[in-house]
Chains A and B, each alone.
Chain A
Amino acid sequence: MASIKHLLNINASKEKVFKAITTINGLAQWWTNQTTGSTDIGGIIQFRFGDAGSDMKVISSEPDKSVIWECVAGFPDWVGTKVTFTLDSNGDKTKLQFEHSDWKEDNEFFAGCSFSWGRYMESLRQLCQTGKGEAFGTEGYKN
């Protein structure tokens, strides 16, 4: 099993970062503007990037601490993988640990996703710090 990991500090409160990863409005501003569904525990969030994308089931959501999704449909390599966001205070900032785990194979798609997740983590950080993310489908997205 392979995992993509990122660690970053965001100059915003844990509450704000948590809202960015647990509301449709927030997710649509840093990952893809084609985000629909329910962010409640047990809910399914649909993320689309044009015709492709993934459906994530919310496995757990602990306010201002952590969120875990499991991919239940979409990119074949993603189905069965888990995405975990863990938040912690770091002075006035928020430390975010990101992990996309349980990949069956470390292949080219894995490497490409690793790059993309890094970009989207920066987009998340910019959204929380400046109010302007760079989600897929938005004017700030760099193709």
Chain B
Amino acid sequence: MTNTLKLLISQFKLQTRLFKNVTIGITDPGSLKQFYENANHVAWLTGHIVSSRYLLAGLIGLKEAEPFAELFLNGKGMDKNSIYPPMAELTKNWDSLSEKIAAALDSITDETLSSKLPRPVPSGDTVGDFIAFILHHEAYTIGQIGIYRKFQGLGAMSYN
């Protein structure tokens, strides 16, 4: 395994923990509150992050059925007329899914890393590029949920 991949896996594991820290304490009604009209709410942000990990899982060869695909698959945007699941439902597979992905990343081959994506991401067009992009994307989205924590009177996200 290259040092670069080791660092990416380390960040993946950090964000596995931070995602839980940033969502803890957010109530179901709170998860649907919006800063302003059309702002993405926490329920969507949460489901979007989880959905992205299912996408990653598929790209590295894991066969995991995505729950709530009708709401989040392929980066589907927030829909004010949709019924979003409770936070507990949105996050319930996070640990098990993340463990499987981390294990798969530990043994991922160069061939898989360099295989082409069905469609490119801003960082490039290989699975390796996708891993790099998704880690940025998760951090970006976790930060948005962090703002909602303050908005709802919750404490700052813990890094522990």
For B81, give its contact among A19, A131, A132, A138 (CB under 8 Å): A19
Is A127 a contact partner of B83 (Cβ separation < 8 A)?
A: yes
Is A132 a contact partner of B29 (Cβ separation < 8 A)?
A: yes
How distant is the Cα of A133 from the Cα of B35 in the complex, in angstroms? 23
Is A13 a contact partner of B31 (Cβ separation < 8 A)?
A: no
State the Cβ distance, A31 to closest chain B Cβ, in Å: 12
Residues in A25-39 with C-beta less than 8 Å from chain B: 25-26, 29
Is A23 a contact partner of B83 (Cβ separation < 8 A)?
A: yes
Q: Is A143 an interface residue (CB 8 A)?
A: no
State the Cβ distance, B83 to closest chain A Cβ, in Å: 4
How distant is the Cα of A131 from the Cα of B89 in the complex, in angstroms? 14
Most chain B CB neighbours (cut-off 10 Å) among A16, A127, A128: A16
Q: Is B82 an interface residue (CB 8 A)?
A: yes
Is B86 a contact partner of A29 (Cβ separation < 8 A)?
A: yes
Q: Using Cβ atoms and an 8 Å threshold, which residues of chain B touch A13?
A: 80-81
How distant is the Cα of A132 from the Cα of B29 in the complex, in angstroms? 6
For A25, give its contact among B29, B32, B81, B85 (CB under 8 Å): B85
Q: Using Cβ atoms and an 8 Å threshold, which residues of chain A touch B83?
A: 16, 19-20, 23, 25-26, 29, 127-128
Number of interface residues of A (CB under 8 A): 15
Residue of B nearest to A12 (CB): B81
Is A131 a contact partner of B82 (Cβ separation < 8 A)?
A: no
Residues in B77-117 with C-beta less than 8 Å from chain A: 80-86, 89
Q: Is B57 an interface residue (CB 8 A)?
A: no
Is A16 a contact partner of B86 (Cβ separation < 8 A)?
A: no
A23-B84 contact given A130-B29, A131-B29, A132-B28, CB 8 Å threshold: no
State the Cβ distance, A136 to closest chain B Cβ, in Å: 14
Q: Is A15 an interface residue (CB 8 A)?
A: yes
State the Cβ distance, B64 to closest chain A Cβ, in Å: 18
Is A131 a contact partner of B31 (Cβ separation < 8 A)?
A: yes
Can you add 13 more A-B contacts, CB < 8 Å, to A15-B81, A131-B28? A13-B80, A13-B81, A16-B82, A16-B83, A23-B70, A25-B68, A25-B84, A26-B83, A29-B85, A29-B86, A130-B29, A131-B29, A138-B86
Give me 22 A-to-B residue pairs in the complex whose CB atoms sit less than 8 angstroms apart, sorted by A's number.
A13-B80, A15-B81, A16-B80, A16-B81, A16-B82, A19-B81, A19-B82, A25-B70, A25-B84, A25-B85, A25-B89, A29-B83, A127-B83, A128-B83, A130-B32, A131-B28, A131-B31, A131-B32, A131-B43, A132-B28, A132-B29, A138-B86
